[in-house]
Amino acid sequence: MNLFVRLALLLLRVRFRGRLAPLDESVLRFRVVPGDLDVNLHMNNARYLSMMDLGRTDLVLRMGVVRELMRRRWNPVVGSLTIRFRRSLAPFQAYTLHTRLMCWDEKAFYLEQRFERDGDVVARAVVRGVFVGPDGRVPAHRLVEMAGYEAESPPMPEAVRAWVEAEAA
In a domain, residue 46? The reply is: yes
**Is a pLDDT exceeding 90 seen at residue 14?**
no
The DSSP line for 53-79 is: HHHHHHHHHHHT-HHHHHHHT-EEEEE
In a domain, residue 93? The reply is: yes
In a domain, residue 3? The reply is: no
In a domain, residue 13? The reply is: no
In a domain, residue 114? The reply is: yes
For 107-117, the pLDDT digits (tens) are 899 999 999 99
Q: Which domain holds residue 85?
A: 20-168
**Is a pLDDT exceeding 80 seen at residue 133?**
yes
Q: What does pTM read for this prediction?
A: 0.93
Taking the C-alpha atoms of residue 113 and residue 40, their distance in angstroms, rounded to an integer, is 24
In a domain, residue 6? The reply is: no
Mean residue pLDDT of the chain comes to 93
Calculate mean pLDDT across residues 130-151: 88
- What secondary structure letter does DSSP report for 38? -
Calculate mean pLDDT across residues 35-45: 94
pLDDT band for position 4 (cuts 50, 70, 90): confident
Residue 155 burial (10 A CB sphere; 0-12, 13-18, 19+): exposed
Long-range Cβ contacts of 154-157 (<8 Å, 24+ apart): 154/23, 154/102, 154/103, 155/103, 156/102, 156/103, 156/105, 156/110, 157/102, 157/103
**Is a pLDDT exceeding 90 seen at residue 52?**
yes
pLDDT of amino acid 81: 97
pLDDT of amino acid 1: 62
Q: Which residues pair with 128 in a beta bridge?
A: 80, 110
For 56-105, the pLDDT digits (tens) are 999 999 988 888 999 999 999 999 999 999 999 999 999 999 999 999 99
pLDDT of amino acid 58: 95
Q: What is the CATH number of the domain that holds 48?
A: 3.10.129.10
Taking the C-alpha atoms of residue 168 and residue 103, their distance in angstroms, rounded to an integer, is 18
Q: What are the backbone angles phi and psi of residue 81, rounded to the nearest 5°?
A: -155, 160
In a domain, residue 97? The reply is: yes
In a domain, residue 2? The reply is: no
pLDDT of amino acid 142: 87
pLDDT band for position 141 (cuts 50, 70, 90): confident
Number of domains comprising the chain: 1
Taking the C-alpha atoms of residue 50 and residue 11, their distance in angstroms, rounded to an integer, is 16
